[in-house]
Amino acid sequence: MTQPKTEKIFLIINKYAGHGLGEKSVKSVIPFLKKHGCTVEYSFTSHPGHATELAARASAGGFDLVVAVGGDGTVNEVAQGLIGTRTAMGIIPMGSGNGLARELGISMNMLKSARTLISGVNLQLDVCKLNDQRFLCTSGIGFDAMIAYKMSKAATRGFLKYVQLVIQESIFFKPLDVKMKIDGVRIEEPVFLITFANASQFGNNAFIAPAASMTDGLIDVVVVRKFAKIWMPVFGVALFTKFIPKLPFVDSYKAKQIELELAETPYYHFDGEPGTLSIPAKISLDEKKIWVRCSK
């Protein structure tokens, strides 16, 4: 962990995030940063992958801090352009989950999170990957991956829409048959979901892997086996009370590498974004890390 001396800041803004607050952030965050002596430039994202391009360009251009202004998707894209560099990533969270921001103690208030850009510290975090897709917080297969796919197709976003989909889809969801090795230990059984966690939560303080650390060089694997639907409300409560590891149908592991040999699903998610699963799949730690500005 290092104390930053920030002079040049580049903001990468999803103008549609936070129901339009992303665009409005220009009028409050930038004057605040300039007031504290920073040189500030910014750009709005215009297409998928644009944030990664902008982040890599800003890092190469000598900016001290590159800031993702948006939700988890924007944060993940910005991170892709900064992994393995000395340039730190900052976050102004404006999404529905804000998993990494919450994990790092960054305020959901726009100006308070902007203050962290000035007064926070830089922390070097592990980076994980599923095949070639890097992720910072969580990836996984099963029920949550299917919900991520459904959310990406929904006309509206937000926490209430997420809850609606969870209730609706849980009624008909069928467990997946899975074969995998966790550091060589074979597992074959039907599962509700499997999460590969670098961070402790999905977002919204839903803690799927309460013991996870983003700096320990290990991946927390949470296997939620097939369970009776009567347990679904208990599972929901357990997510928000850090009780998941104590449920009788949940197994938790810490590992360096996971080999997924069979999974009867086309979906996986990475930091809340949907992806198409290619089997066999390998989940491992990336050799490169990322610096992130967080609260002291």
| pLDDT score for 7 | 85
- How does pLDDT run across 178-211, given as a tens digit for each residue? 999 999 999 999 999 999 999 999 988 999 999 9
- Tell me: the pLDDT tens digits for 148-174? 888 888 777 767 777 788 888 888 899
Residue spans of the chain under pLDDT 70: 1-6, 158
Q: Which domains does the chain have, with CATH numbers?
A: 8-125 (3.40.50.10330), 133-287 (2.60.200.40)
The answer to whether 169 and 150 are in contact (CB under 8 A) is yes
Letter string b/e over residues 149-181, b meaning 16 or more CB atoms within 10 A of that residue's CB: bbbeeeeebeeeebeebbeeebeebebbebbbb
With beta carbons less than 8 A apart as the criterion, state whether 250 and 45 touch.
Answer: no
The pLDDT, as a whole number, for residue 20 is 74
Q: What would the DSSP string read from start to end of 213-271?
A: -TTSS-EEEEEEE---GGGHHHHHHHHHHT-GGGSTTEEEEEESEEEEEEES-SEEEET
How confident is the model at residue 240, as a pLDDT? 94
pLDDT on residue 263: 95
Is the Cβ–Cβ distance between 272 and 72 less than 8 Å? yes
Distance between alpha carbon 229 and the CA centroid of its chain, in Å?
A: 27
DSSP type of residue 207: B
What pLDDT is attached to residue 3?
A: 59
Stated as kind and residue range, the H or E segment containing 181 is: strand 176-182
**Alpha carbons 281 and 35: distance in angstroms, whole number:** 48
pLDDT of residue 164: 83
pLDDT of 6: 62
